[in-house]
Amino acid sequence: KAKEDGRNTHRFFETDMGIAVNDRRELISDLRNAVANGEMELYFQPQYSLDNYAISGFEALVRWNHPTRGLVSPGDFIPLAEDTGLITQLGQWVLTEACRIAAGWPRHLRMAVNLSPRQLRGHAFGPVLIEALAKSGLRADRLELEVTESVLLTDSDEVLDALHQAKSLGVKVSMDDFGTGYSSLSYLRRFPFDKIKIDQSFVRSMAYSDDSISIVKAVIELAKNLDMTTTAEGVETRQLLDMLKDIGCNEAQGYFLGRPMPVAQAEELIFACEQSLSTVAQ
Ligand code: C2E
Ligand code: MG
Ligand code: MG
Ligand code: MG
């Protein structure tokens, strides 16, 4: 039920009511050692090109295998990690691990990594990025950094500098959850994103609202004019996939196409796709 009411309500239940104050304190102290204890794991969700329905890349989504609570979702610990500053260490681990894994995958596949605002503040991010690329050998243009507009909301030159530095290395930058904030449009002017990820809430409501279809169409048109590509998030049905292709969206991601999965499963999927491609080619 909470899910139907939207993401904010969902978070409200899980974070503010589900996790009480004591829990929060306990989680924070557990979080301090989680990376060192090897409790963090990356899951990977495929992104498909709507030109040919081939996989174009994966988004890395962090999971916490808590020793007693089981799998904790990022919605429940990323905010804690941000509040406590632990995000710096966690974010560095995510970036390094995602680059390492992507470097072993076929060269046409990109890897998208989510960044929190705090990771981009200060001047530590540039060196971390350069090191992650150098250590893994991943070609810079195979890496995409996903930021939400909250990243630009901080209005700091440090953040813009960090993003510009990433772009100058050849790394791609995407605006995540487009349309959910207060002034997504003004952010498009302030930074040259390579890609817009259309938020799930718009995508989902296309199924029953003509107005939502118009909005998504307009975003796709806008992106084209700004030389940016579009990815639709939260594609849960065939019907939505077909609609998005019809209106010219470039890529799609969602449960209909594939859920986030552990690395071994992602590699099976990649292998199966390569096999079927080589069968077609013969
Ligand atoms: P996001 O970057 O917008 O990621 C998309 C979220 O939507 C993921 O949730 C994904 O599992 C979920 N999703 C994908 N397809 C569908 C669908 O068809 N239907 C529905 N209902 N959901 C779908 P997840 O993995 O729980 O991550 C939630 C958020 O946590 C992410 O939103 C991102 O903002 C943040 N996050 C995840 N990993 C990281 C990380 O490594 N670092 C940082 N800073 N944030 C992260
Ligand atoms: Mg994302
Ligand atoms: Mg998103
Ligand atoms: Mg999000």
DSSP per-residue string spanning 237-255: SHHHHHHHHHTT--EE-ST
**88 CB near ligand 1 (under 6 Å):** no
pLDDT, tens only, 70-92: 999 999 999 999 999 999 999 99
Q: Is the CB of 78 under 6 A from ligand 1?
A: yes
The pTM of this model reads: 0.92
HSE-CB for 11 with a 13 A CA cutoff:
9
> How far apart are the CA of 200 and the centre of ligand 3, in A?
7
Residue 278 clears pLDDT 90, i.e. is over it: no
Mean pLDDT across 22-51: 94
Nearest ligand, CA of residue 253? 1
Model pLDDT, residue 13: 43
170 lines ligand 1 (CB under 6 A): no
- Whether 94 is in the pocket of ligand 1, judged by its Cβ within 6 Å, is yes
Of 98, 76, 91, the closest CA to residue 122 belongs to 91
Q: Cα dihedral angle (157, 158, 161, 167), rounded to 10 degrees?
A: -130
Q: Is the pLDDT of residue 125 over 70?
A: yes
Contact yes or no for 159/147 (Cβ under 8 A): no
Q: What is the pLDDT of residues 147-204, one digit of tens each?
A: 988 888 776 788 899 999 999 999 999 999 998 877 678 888 888 999 999 999 999 9
**Closest by alpha carbon to 81, among 2, 178, 15, 126?**
15
Q: Which amino acid is at 87?
A: I
| pLDDT at residue number 5 | 42
pLDDT of residue 8: 43
Measure 33 CA to ligand 3 centroid, in angstroms.
Answer: 27
Q: What is the mean pLDDT of residues 219-244?
A: 97
Ligand 1 close to Cβ of residue 53 (< 6 A): no
Q: Burial level of 245, CB count in 10 A (0-12/13-18/19+)? A: middle
What's the pLDDT score for residue 156? Answer: 75
- 129, pLDDT greater than 90: yes
User: With a 6 A CB cut-off, is 14 part of the ligand 1 pocket?
Assistant: no
The model's confidence at residue 117, banded by pLDDT at 50, 70 and 90, is: confident
Q: What's the average model confidence in pLDDT over 3-29?
A: 59
CA of 114 to the centre of ligand 1 (A): 9
Pocket test for ligand 1, best of 8, 58, 59, 114 (most atoms within 8 A of CB): 114
Q: Please give the Cα distance from 278 to 282 (Å, whole number).
A: 6
Q: What is the mean pLDDT of the chain?
A: 90
Choose from 9-18, 89-98, 118-127 the range with maximum mean pLDDT.
89-98
Q: Is the pLDDT of residue 23 over 70?
A: yes
Rounded to the nearest 5 degrees, what angle is found at the Cα of 92, between the Cα atoms of 86 and 97?
Answer: 130
Segment 37-62 shows an average pLDDT of 97
Of 48-52, 123-127, 214-218, the one with minimum mean pLDDT is 123-127
**Separation of 93 CA from ligand 3 center, angstroms?**
20
Q: How far apart are CA 1 and CA 280, in angstroms?
A: 44
The distance of Cα 263 from the centroid of its chain, to the nearest Å, equals: 16
CA of 61 to the centre of ligand 2 (A): 8
Supply the residue whose CA is at minimum distance from atom 20 of ligand 1.
234
In angstroms, the Cα distances linking 187 to 36, 154, 176, 198, 257 are 36, 12, 12, 14, 30
Whether residue 21 is predicted with pLDDT greater than 80 in this model: the reply is no
